[in-house]
Amino acid sequence: MPSDLLEHARRAKGFMPEDEGDLLYRVARERLPHGPALEVGTYCGKSGIYLGAAAREVSAAGTPATVFTVDHHRGSEENQAGWEHHDTSVVDAEFGLMDTLGQFRKNIARAGLENHVIAIVGQSTTVAAHWRTPLSLLFIDGGHGTEPARDDFLGWPRWVDAGGYLAIHDVFPDPTEGGRPPYEQIYLPALASGQFTEIDVVGSLRILQRTSGSAGDPVG
């Protein structure tokens, strides 16, 4: 990870430990020459900077590379007032709702990644319903409740290209370490589909490769 961008990633608010961010950067660098990447769960752009760092490098080497990142910017269940990950500095006073879009924009602009990391603002299910582009890398780090996690599994992994990667964050097989939905609703069903094979893991970040089927084919 280039040191200038690592500094920006460190400074951005968010939920991406450095060793996991580094794995994200490495798999993105590997995959981006083959097509765009998409992240579900932008928040303030911390993980987006790791992905964008890879896009910057791949682009400099001659293949224009793009990372799309989807978020309604209103926060997940666990980010709302009264919950563990609530942060009052990302609340819009007029609506009394979270708004992380401004911080995302600042962080990506500061990092010089505006041409590489493209925000899509809206519900993940709505964007997925209209998405048609094969993905070289899909990173799911959106809503961690049972329903949002299941919706993300139904909507997104089918767009991973043959040989492409599905990265899933906050996968905790041991319930004492964290919430279950990313593990039960995304990770296990992806493996059970027979279309994805695990190839790497750091912390709660799992990397699966699409070893059968191709973009557009339903998964599971």
Residues at the contact surface with Mg ion, assessed by CB under 5 A: 15, 141, 169-170
Q: Give the one entry of Mg ion, ligand SAH, none that residue 170 binds, where binding means its C-beta sits below a cut-off of 5 to 8 angstroms depending on kind.
A: Mg ion
Distance CA(127)–CA(96), nearest Å, equals: 25
144 is annotated as an active-site residue? yes
CA angle, 181 as apex, 17 and 174 as ends, to 5°? 70
Neighbouring-strand partners of residue 196: 210
Q: Which is nearer to ligand SAH, 43 or 68 (CB)?
A: 43
Q: Give the one entry of ligand SAH, Mg ion, none that residue 210 binds, where binding means its C-beta sits below a cut-off of 5 to 8 angstroms depending on kind.
A: none
Site for ligand SAH in 7-26 (CB under 6 A): 14-16
From residue 67 to residue 86, the character string flagging contacts with ligand SAH as x (rule: CB under 6 A) and all else as - is ---xxxxxxx----------
Q: Which is nearer to Mg ion, 79 or 209 (CB)?
A: 79
AA identity, residue 195: Q
| 212, two tokens | 């059968």
Measured from the CB of residue 208, what is the shortest distance to ligand SAH in angstroms?
A: 18
Site for ligand SAH in 148-177 (CB under 6 A): 148
AA identity, residue 135: L
Distance CA(141)–CA(41), nearest Å, equals: 5
Q: What is the CA 85 to chain-centroid distance, rounded?
A: 18
Measured from the CB of residue 17, what is the shortest distance to ligand SAH in angstroms?
A: 10
142 near 124, Cβ under 8 Å?
Answer: yes
69 near 117, Cβ under 8 Å?
Answer: yes
CB closest to ligand SAH, residue no: 14
Q: Which is nearer to ligand SAH, 36 or 41 (CB)?
A: 41
| 214, two tokens | 């191709």
Site for ligand SAH in 36-55 (CB under 6 A): 41-43, 46-47
Among 26, 123, 131, 200, binds ligand SAH (CB under 6 A): 123
Measured from the CB of residue 184, what is the shortest distance to ligand SAH in angstroms?
A: 17
User: For residue 38, what are the CA distances in angstroms to 28, 82, 158, 165, 177?
Assistant: 10, 30, 13, 11, 27
Judged by CB under 6 A, does residue 182 bind ligand SAH? no
